[in-house]
Amino acid sequence: MSVELNLHKNEDKYGFAARAFELAEKYRDFRSLAALCNKDLVYPLDQNPYTTKIAEYVERFRDEFTDELYQWYIEHGIDLVLFYYTLVIHLTSRGITDVV
């Protein structure tokens, strides 16, 4: 079962965002991490407050996280963001890091 439930809908209201991220990381609930990282403004990326966190999770959890992240984007119709992250991963894997 996903920690996502209704937790991420109320974490800012009650100040639990950090705890929600902590629990999702601890239990490797990548679906919730994807939702938490995109709960506010998804695109443009420079305005998403979690862009850095997404990049950290991509590096730390690799496919486990990106599979859920991409699925979340597809389900929410966010093809442009999916394309961008695919491009970023492609470029950074080739040593080009100044892309965000």
99 lies in a domain? no
The H helix count followed by the E strand count for the chain is: 6, 0
100 lies in a domain? no
Q: Average pLDDT for residues 6-16, to the nearest whole number?
A: 56
63 lies in a domain? yes
- Residue 90 scores a pLDDT above 90: no
pLDDT score, position 42: 64
- Residue 84 scores a pLDDT above 90: no
Cβ burial of 38 (10 Å; 0-12, 13-18, 19+) is buried
Please tell me the pTM assigned to this model.
Answer: 0.67
Q: How many domains does one find in the chain?
A: 1
Domain range for 25 is 4-92
Q: 59 and 88 in contact (C-beta within 8 Å)?
A: no
Residue with tokens 């991509």: 58
34 lies in a domain? yes
Which tens digits make up the pLDDT trace of 17-74? 889 999 999 999 999 999 999 887 666 666 778 888 988 998 899 999 989 988 988 8
Q: 36 and 8 in contact (C-beta within 8 Å)?
A: yes
